[in-house]
């Protein structure tokens, strides 16, 4: 068999994927998605290519996240003079990026949602307690009335995401209005987040094998923030 002639059976299928909780949505394992992931995983990939192909995946993830927003019926008049019964989004949204890697996903959200408001949360490990600690947050004043797309490309242990969700809840955001969007997740991270917050939806691009002893995603793709923004 030639390297360029992979059969459909050699690509991951829905039947071969691990069983996920009902609130976890994984992008379909298409050849296009796997090809983009292969490029950004390659340590030889240039920064410009890393950005380009990461942005392609991010756009897919944002589109999938928007699919989970509520809609209501709306009738419009077509240029032909005929009515069309369609839908429109119900409620307002905002994005919240977990700094700094999450900022890489903001452009993808803005490309899909014009004039969308963006909040930011900075969470780092406390050297004394070794637990995630909130260092900074700037959120829309009316965030409690919005649907929130929480943005972070990598989900390892889930500690930072759990802390970020706690911050959103403290600001009045209902759990069912939080949609966490990420590129690559570990099974351990998914389990930790879904057990803590079963009402929060997770949109994942890919689920890797697990975590190393240093709690790094395996096989992973390195430090996303450093590769996207430059070390």
Cβ-proximal residues to 212 (8 Å cutoff; 6+ apart), any chain:
218
Task: Report the 10 Å Cβ neighbour count for 96.
Answer: 30
Catalytic center residues: 125, 129, 223, 226
- Residue 123 · residue 163 · CB < 8 Å: yes
How far is CA 165 from each of CA 14, 54, 87, 203, rounded to the nearest angstrom? 29, 24, 29, 15
How buried is 88 (Cβ within 10 angstroms: 0-12 exposed, 13-18 middle, 19+ buried)? Answer: exposed
- Residue 224 · residue 183 · CB < 8 Å: yes
**Ramachandran assignment for 13, one of left (phi > 0), alpha (psi -120 to 50 degrees), beta (any other):** beta
Q: How many residues does the structure list for the chain?
A: 231
Strands 92-99 and 146-151: parallel
Strands 132-138 and 117-125: antiparallel
């Amino acid at each position: 068999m030639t390297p360029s002639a992979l059969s459909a059976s050699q690509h991951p299928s829905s039947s071969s994927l691990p069983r996920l909780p009902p609130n976890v949505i994984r992008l379909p394992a298409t050849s296009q998605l796997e090809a983009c992931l292969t490029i950004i995983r390659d340590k030889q990939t240039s920064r410009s290519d890393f950005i380009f192909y990461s942005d392609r995946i991010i756009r897919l993830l944002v589109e999938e996240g928007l699919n989970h927003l509520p809609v209501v019926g709306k009738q419009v008049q077509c240029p032909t003079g005929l009515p069309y019964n369609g839908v429109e989004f119900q409620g307002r949204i905002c994005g919240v990026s977990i700094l700094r890697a999450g900022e890489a996903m903001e452009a993808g959200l803005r490309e899909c949602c014009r004039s969308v408001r963006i909040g930011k949360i900075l969470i780092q490990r406390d050297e004394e307690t070794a637990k995630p600690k909130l260092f900074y947050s700037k959120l829309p004043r009316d965030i409690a009335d919005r649907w929130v797309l929480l943005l972070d490309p990598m989900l390892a242990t889930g500690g930072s995401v759990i802390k970020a969700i706690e911050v959103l809840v403290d600001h009045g955001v209902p759990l069912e209005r939080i949609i966490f969007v990420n590129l690559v997740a570990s099974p351990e991270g998914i389990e930790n987040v879904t057990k803590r917050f079963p009402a929060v939806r997770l949109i994942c691009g890919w689920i890797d094998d697990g975590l190393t002893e240093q709690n790094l995603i395996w096989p992973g793709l390195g430090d996303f923030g450093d590769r996207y923004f430059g070390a």
